[in-house]
């Protein structure tokens, strides 16, 4: 396949869904681009949209639409014009060739000859294959550009025998390609089955992963809830401990305050006791002083009493003397002396006063 690409001056890419899925076909297209061999993309399926490497190749080149039955002749002529333009660019054909007058008639006759087979086989995307399209293209080039075909065949082989067997080899190659295409189709089917099984496995695996993720999320959620519960429990314990510490501090403060109060009260009591002691001492001293004073007063009172007794006795004696004298005088003068009487009364009052003082 690599030699066929290298020996070609133009490569037609009949792009289909099967072509894009074939690794060999994709490599063939990329190899042609790498070798800078002119490439003409031919869109054979209407709904096919190339992607990847084929999409890049198609985007940079003009492509031919061969899936439209109504415009097949027009598109086919466009394909021939592209091939001729490439030949002119490569110097394989004159820029202004002398065309036969009946070229179009001959071309139309060739198309008319194969129109039924083309319509029946090659215009329906489900039946059209790359090999069948290649066979028609080979016949078309053989009919309208035999020199191009001859040049291509001369490049393929250096011997006359090889040129004579080219048709057989081409048929054999086409048959081989058809067999390979069948094998590739079977391989693609197997790969599709494997892909489907892989997709199913991946889907089941994704479901298991999703279930595991859900389980892990639930586990994480439960763990987080446990952590939250533990944190709340720890917070409550911390709160209780803080409350206990506050209560303990309050109790300590209360005890300290009570101790201070007791100390203050004790100090006050001691001060009061000391004050009382001082007062007691002072009282004792005062009592002693009063006692001494009372003793002195009693002694003085005793002295005074004795003096009063003496005075009373003396007064009594004097009174007796006065009464005696009065009696004598009364007898003698038989007269009342008022002054003497007053003195006598005063003396009696003085005696009563002294007696009252002595009683106290």
Report the distance separating Cα 360 and Cα 114, nearest Å.
Answer: 181
Q: Looking at the structure, tell me whether residues 159 and 304 fall in a common domain.
A: no
Report the distance separating Cα 346 and Cα 129, nearest Å.
Answer: 184
Q: How confident is the model over 20-63, as pLDDT tens digits?
A: 777 777 788 788 888 788 888 887 777 777 777 677 776 667 77
Q: Looking at the structure, tell me whether residues 152 and 298 fall in a common domain.
A: no
Higher-scoring residue by pLDDT: 335, 286: 286
**Domain boundary at 146, 164, 182, which?**
164
Average pLDDT, the chain: 72
Distances in whole angstroms, Cα of residue 242 to Cα of each of 228, 232, 238, 248, 304: 20, 15, 6, 9, 86
**Domain boundary at 136, 164, 192, which?**
164
Of residues 314, 301, 311, 315, the one with CA closest to residue 358: 301
**Domain boundary at 164, 192, 207, which?**
164
In a domain, 343, yes or no: yes
From edge to edge, which strands make up the β-sheet containing 11-15? 11-15, 39-43, 64-65
In a domain, 340, yes or no: yes
Give me the domain span that covers residue 157.
2-164
The number of angstroms, rounded, from the C-alpha of 135 to the middle of its chain's C-alpha atoms is: 67
Helix, coil or strand: residue 12: strand
Which residue in this structure is represented by tokens 């058809």?
178
Q: How many domains does the chain have?
A: 2
In a domain, 110, yes or no: yes
How much is the pTM? 0.30
Report the distance separating Cα 8 and Cα 155, nearest Å.
Answer: 9
Rounded mean pLDDT, 138-159:
59
pLDDT at 245: 85
- Let me know: does 143 contact 110? Beta carbons within 8 Å: yes
pLDDT at 271: 82
In a domain, 69, yes or no: yes
Rounded mean pLDDT, 99-122:
53
- Let me know: does 47 contact 75? Beta carbons within 8 Å: no
In a domain, 349, yes or no: yes
pLDDT at 2: 65
Q: How confident is the model over 2-30, as pLDDT tens digits?
A: 677 777 778 887 878 777 777 777 788 78
In a domain, 172, yes or no: no
Helix, coil or strand: residue 15: strand
Q: Looking at the structure, tell me whether residues 160 and 16 fall in a common domain.
A: yes
Residue 300 has pLDDT above 70, yes or no: yes
In a domain, 273, yes or no: no
Higher-scoring residue by pLDDT: 105, 127: 105
Burial grade of 159 (CB within 10 A; 0-12, 13-18, 19 or more):
exposed
Percent of the chain having pLDDT more than 70?
61
Residues in the chain: 360
Percent of the chain having pLDDT more than 90?
1
Poorest-confidence range of 114-123, 190-199, 216-225?
114-123
SS3 content of the chain, % helix, strand, coil (to 5): 80, 5, 15
Report the distance separating Cα 360 and Cα 350, nearest Å.
Answer: 16
In a domain, 252, yes or no: no
pLDDT at 16: 80
Poorest-confidence range of 117-131, 194-208, 337-351?
117-131
Identity of the highest mean pLDDT range in 136-150, 161-175, 185-199: 185-199
pLDDT at 26: 79
Report the distance separating Cα 54 and Cα 41, nearest Å.
Answer: 9
Report the distance separating Cα 347 and Cα 335, nearest Å.
Answer: 21
- Let me know: does 104 contact 113? Beta carbons within 8 Å: no
């Amino acid at each position: 396949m690599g030699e066929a690409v290298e020996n070609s001056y133009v490569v037609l890419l009949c792009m289909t869904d099967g072509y894009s899925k074939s690794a060999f076909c994709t490599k063939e297209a990329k190899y042609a681009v790498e070798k800078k061999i002119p490439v003409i993309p031919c869109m054979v399926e209407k709904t096919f949209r190339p992607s990847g490497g084929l999409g890049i190749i198609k985007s940079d080149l003009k492509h031919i639409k061969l899936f439209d039955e109504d415009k097949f002749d027009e598109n086919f002529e466009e394909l021939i014009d592209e091939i001729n333009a490439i030949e002119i660019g490569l110097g394989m054909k004159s820029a202004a060739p002398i065309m036969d007058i009946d070229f179009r008639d001959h071309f139309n006759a060739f198309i008319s000859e194969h129109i039924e087979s083309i319509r029946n086989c090659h215009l329906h995307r489900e039946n059209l294959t790359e090999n069948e399209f290649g066979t028609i293209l080979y016949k078309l080039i053989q009919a309208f550009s035999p020199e191009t075909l001859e040049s291509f065949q001369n490049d393929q082989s250096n011997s006359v025998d090889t040129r004579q067997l080219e048709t057989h080899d081409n048929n054999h190659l086409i048959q081989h390609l058809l067999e390979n295409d069948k094998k590739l189709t079977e391989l693609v089917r197997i790969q599709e089955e494997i892909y489907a099984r892989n997709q199913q496995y991946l889907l089941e695996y994704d479901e298991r992963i999703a279930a595991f993720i859900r389980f892990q999320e639930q586990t994480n959620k439960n763990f987080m809830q446990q952590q939250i519960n533990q944190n709340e429990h720890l917070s409550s314990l911390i709160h209780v401990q803080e409350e206990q510490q506050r209560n303990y501090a309050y109790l300590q403060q209360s005890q300290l305050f009570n101790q201070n109060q007791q100390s203050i009260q004790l100090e006050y009591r001691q001060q009061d006791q000391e004050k009382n002691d001082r007062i007691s001492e002072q009282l004792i001293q005062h009592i002693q002083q009063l006692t001494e004073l009372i003793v002195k007063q009693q002694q003085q009172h005793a002295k005074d009493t004795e003096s009063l007794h003496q005075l009373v006795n003396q007064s009594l004696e004097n009174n007796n003397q006065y009464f005696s004298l009065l009696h004598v005088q009364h007898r003698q003068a038989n007269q009342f002396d008022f002054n003497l009487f007053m003195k006598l009364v005063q003396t009696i009052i003085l005696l009563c006063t002294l007696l009252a003082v002595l009683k106290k």
